Structure 1
Amino acid sequence: MREESAFAGRWTTVGGVRTHDRHDCRAGGLPVVLVHGLAVSHRYLMPTARALAGRHPVLVPDLPGFGHSDKPRRAYDVSRHAAHLAAWLDALGLSRVCVAGHSFGAEVVARLAVLRPDLVAAIVLASPTCDPAARSRRALVGRWFADLFVEAPWQAAVLARDVADAKPWRVLATVGHSVRNAIEGDLCRLPVPPLVLGGALDPVAPLRWRTQVAVLTGGVSVTVPAAAHNVMTTSGRRSAAAIAAYLRSSSTRPAPVSA
């Protein structure tokens, strides 16, 4: 998965943490920030990022502890990641964006949207964790193992590199943060209805759970055929098309009225 030269790398120091991102901001329109999951980095989101870049500015950060960003001594929980992401957006002067989180990243962007609704114009929850039916370390890890049998094997090298960067202890600690986070509390407080995106074969965030998320949030659910949990890796063009369509639809809705 070679990153095209149009995507540039950058480090921004936020709260003492050097935070890396890849970005291509040549297009106009609402910026889209793609947020990765708990064992990975910006790398596996690049297929969607590249497909979307011709239509929107796209930024793909590495959360603290992952990818090329600094590695704090302790794994951040959902709230701390959300606060860091908000501070990073402030540092870049981005005041209204679409936050698109995948897997654990969906938990982070949901919390960000609740903490800082002023930053959020649109929300994408892709393969969101954690389904209440699998809210334990054993159950969640079991679903990931099941996902291995339906994912495209060419992803293995990218994912192995990401886990090596993060270190297994950080991945396991972040699994614990995920299963202790009841995302429903944030979902019912989102400032805008989200796009709930997922793969038809996903055992980690199955259609039943994604449908519940869409109902709870008043959002729209889109299922990508033949894709599994890593829908934004293996189906980048279709994921980007769904996000672009959602953003076109969102731009025609009336703005929410503040109380």
Structure 2
Amino acid sequence: MAELRLAMAAPQPAAGLTSEWRLVDGLRTHTRRSPDPGTGAPPVVLVHGLAVSHRYLTPLAVALARTHPVYLPDLPGFGLTAHPAGTYDVAQHTAHLAAWLRAYRLPRVCVLGHSFGAEVAAALAARHPETVRALVLAGPTGDPTARSRRTLLGRWLVDTLREAKAQAPILLRDVWDAGPRRVAATLSYSVGNAIEADLVRVEAPTLVVTGARDPVVPPAWRDEVARLIPHARTLVVPGAAHNVATTAPAEVAAGVRRLIADTSRVLDG
């Protein structure tokens, strides 16, 4: 119940996280953020997946906030961000995220995308490399063997049987906020997105994270994602399913910190 209250708290402050809105490319965009811990560590930006919002990523945000400033923007049409006239595809979400980074005037960030958010994060790293210091792809969708709505939905159905039941109210709230039509259209854009074209262009050091019980991202696709990116490593969390960023925040946060530390040694000498 404590995690549920934390996830549903916005826009009220909770566990050090606060909400704010900024106009980004004409769209009132909501961001949940942590205070700067004063460590001098680079910011971490968490990008949510399809049909959801910042809410389910709050456990990971709290885990990272001890050492890093953490930002959780709601993508256009999701969470507490305003609804654009149409549904954004991967390219439009990526452009909006790049504009969001400019609005916040952040230095190069570590961006973590989960599920569909990993598709957006990979596109950001490929198309706007000057903004990304390190990249984390958690449960990245885009498996060529699941490029149909029916196959992908089937995998997600299996995953629901492996996830914590407490996540259901959060998912239902997020689907209500976005609307079923936007969720369905975004699913179609995900299925049609050839993520491989972005993966081979990623220059930032990358961590590919999956749960050992994730039916959405099977081991063959996880390994292929890591193979396509020149500087990638993998992390498999035992016992976790697709929502590894939610159900294993300590393990994922530790992996993110190791990646950033290793990247800093290379970039900063």
What band does the TM-score fall into relative to the shorter chain? Answer: over 0.9
Q: Which amino acid aligns with 1:81?
A: H
Q: Distance in 2 between matches of 1:203 and 1:169?
A: 25
Counterpart position of 2:136:
124
- State the Cα distance separating 1:254 from its structure 2 match: 4.8
Asked if structure 1 preserves the Cα contact closer than 8 Å seen for 2:52 and 2:174, the reply is yes
Q: Identity over aligned residues, as a percent?
A: 54
Partner of 1:225: 238
- Indicate yes or no: 2:106 matched with 1:61: no
Q: Please give the per-residue CA displacement for 1:199-222, whole angstroms capped at 9, x wherever unaligned.
A: 000000122211111111130000
Match of 2:34 among 24, 30, 33: 24
Q: Separation in 2 of the partners of 1:192 and 1:107?
A: 15
Structure 1 equivalent of residue 201 of structure 2: 189
How many residues of Structure 1 are paired with residues of Structure 2 in the alignment?
255
Matched with 1:214 is 226
Whole-angstrom distance in 1 between the partners of 2:253 and 2:23? 29
The 5 Å alignment of 1:109-258 reads: 109-218=121-230, 219-254=232-267
Tell me, which stretches of 5 or more residues in structure 2 are unaligned?
7-13
Output the CA distance in 2 between the equivalents of 1:35 and 1:151.
20
Q: Check whether the contact 1:199–1:227 (CA below 8 A) recurs between aligned residues.
A: yes
Q: Is the 8 A contact 1:124 1:194 kept in 2?
A: yes
User: In structure 1, what residue type is equivalent to 2:34?
Assistant: D
Whether contact under 8 Å (1:47, 1:236) holds in the other structure is yes
Question: CA offsets, 1:45-91, max 9 Å, x none?
Answer: 01111001001110001000000000112110000000000001101
Corresponding residue for residue 88 of structure 1: 100
Counterpart in 1 of 2:10?
Answer: none
What SS does the corresponding residue of 2:46 show, helix, strand or coil? Answer: strand
Over the aligned positions, Cα root-mean-square deviation in angstroms equals: 1.1
Could you report, residue by residue, the CA deviation over 1:28-48 in whole angstroms, capped at 9, with x for unpaired residues?
Answer: 311000000011000000111
Which runs of structure 1 show a deviation greater than 3 angstroms over 4 or more consecutive aligned residues? Answer: none
Cα-to-partner distance string for 1:116-160 (whole Å, 9 max, x where unaligned): 111110100000011111011111111100101111111101111
Q: Are the equivalent residues in 2 in contact too, given 1:97–1:122 (CA < 8 A)? A: yes
- 1:32–1:98 Cα contact (<8 Å) kept: yes
SS of the residue 1:124 aligns to: strand
Is the Cα contact below 8 Å between 2:110 and 2:134 reproduced in 1?
yes
Partner deviation per Cα, 1:205-240 (whole Å, 9 max, x = no partner): 122211111111130000011000001111111111
Matches within 5 A, 1:27-106: 27=37, 28=39, 29-106=41-118
Contact 1:95 1:118 in 2 (8 A): no
TM-score normalized with structure 2 length: 0.92
5+ long unaligned stretches in structure 1: none
